[in-house]
Structure 1
């Protein structure tokens, strides 16, 4: 019987895919915060034990690729594998218990898993654990700040072939995401928005009135900062496209994110993330102040 090559299976707490008749750990598009933290701890323990990746792979019975992906946080490590690794590396019981709990937390289902048909990457998992989010948008109001009617029209324009039910599900997912990420326990959000996004009519004047009104309301919240990049800024460093940078607790490196019609790109190399942060800061310096931005939004709304 022919074995499928892309079917996912669950074995214990670790996800696998079937390939060439064998089970291999299933990689993630980008590691979540807890998986990255777990991977760093595994690497630290291995290095303190004086073992190379080749030696660790041989003694654990893992492939070399599995060691690299586990240390990079790119596969879900089972508790059994984690226990064996901790024993090999000489971790004390306190450290082992902490890493096992971290693995359990990393593999716990988040709110977004109910919308796994909508959220196909790991961005929302990273976003849910961020302490600060910086985002630059060139053409639309950022998804986290969209009103329901506005979101519906944006999604409909991007996916014109969706059925009514599919469209509703995507809108619901975006609104649930907004509630979970922009609520009272939310991270700080600093959004830079091109003036074109607040002036572009989406659907009816009522839709834009509600959207701009919602935007003005959230701008009063202490953890949200919105700045508009005016047309008068002319050529600017953000003309090549939108991007986001997610910041976490000090021990967890920031992650950059770029989405395009061709797919998602996660930027994790320290120098590249630093360049995105510098780019964001230059853009923020070219934007209107939050107060001036609110005045411009209010003026545009009055004419919508």
Structure 2
């Protein structure tokens, strides 16, 4: 079994916390420092700080101030104002996330807010699912049915919050600069009667509607495809606009969210996704299968 580095949730260190957003920003600053051939000591001198602060910044343990980011980027020779702007926006989102000021502050379980904050700034998402419709394509009725079946959800009000939250998240598929969504789902996802025939009929109608969006690509891996490279479980790959930025891989487990944030993991999961996509039906044939199941449900 392949082992990968992972983080299942935000990790406290004394009164500090390492977040996915901060690790993402820290990784970008580390990449720029390495490209400039500068040491941590030289970076620390640039912002009149200690080596320890640079370490904490590059590992995502502390919220970052805009002046420090600007000075470091200047020292590293970054001349692209657009890239600098994205780094500053990433820092702002991380600070808001730490203060729970994002619109996702009502997220009903640990880790969801962090995922949504990453989803909000991603430019493309590639998602492989073996048991569920991806959250960005779920109907409210489908989400409620999942909540009722999950023993971890005891409060009906929390289930409703989750359902409405997923509906709000779907706004990122629309607008002037929507996220590019590429989804591959196993055929079993369509045949599993989550919530019963009526709920599934509505869910498949939602999939058919989404498939017409220019920024959504939907494929189905049919049963007849046999063995495939993604049997280990579902995952999503989030990509960002920064040139050279690493993808971040996310997966849900029974005990929490898992994040994989290094170059090896990114390359591995992209290969797995490409492999399962090649074995799947074309988008046209996938839509035809979904429509036939909708009519028969």
Global fold match (TM > 0.5): yes
| Partners of 1:74 and 1:17 in 2: CA distance | 8
> Are residue 151 (structure 1) and residue 143 (structure 2) matched?
yes
- The equivalent of 1:31 in structure 2 is 21
Matched residue SS, 1:240: coil
Asked if the contact 1:31–1:72 (Cα under 8 Å) also holds between the matched residues in 2, the reply is no
- Which of 1 and 2 has greater Rg? 1
Q: Are 1:197 and 2:184 matched, yes or no?
A: no
* Aligned twin of 1:124: 116
Give 3-state SS (helix, strand or coil) of 2:249's partner: strand
Q: Please, which runs of 5 or more residues in structure 2 have no aligned partner?
A: 1-10
Conserved in 2, the CA contact under 8 Å of 1:53 and 1:68? no
Please point out which of 160, 169, 173 is paired with 1:177: 169
CA–CA separation in structure 2 for the residues paired with 1:178 and 1:159: 26
- RCO (CA 8 Å, sep 6+): is it higher in 1 or 2? 2
Q: Residue in 1 aligned with 2:29?
A: 41
State yes or no: 1:137 paired with 2:129: yes
CA distance in 1, matches of 2:262, 2:245: 13
Instruction: Tell me what 2:232 maps to.
Output: 240
Aligned length: 277
* Matching of residues 45-124 of structure 1 within 5 Å: 50-53=38-41, 56=44, 60=48, 62=50, 64=52, 66-78=53-65, 86=72, 101-102=88-89, 103-104=91-92, 106-108=94-96, 111-118=102-109, 120-121=111-112, 122-124=114-116
Q: What does residue 262 of structure 1 align with? A: 255
Question: Which structure 1 segments of 5+ residues have no match?
Answer: 1-15
Deviations 1:203-230 (A, max 9, x none): 2211111001111111111110110000
Is this contact kept in 1: 2:182–2:217, CA < 8 A? Answer: yes
Secondary structure, aligned partner of 2:21: coil
Cα separation, partners in 2 of 1:112 and 1:120, compared to 1, 3 Å: farther
State the TM-score, normalized to the length of structure 2: 0.79
Deviations 1:120-150 (A, max 9, x none): 2522111111111100000111111001100
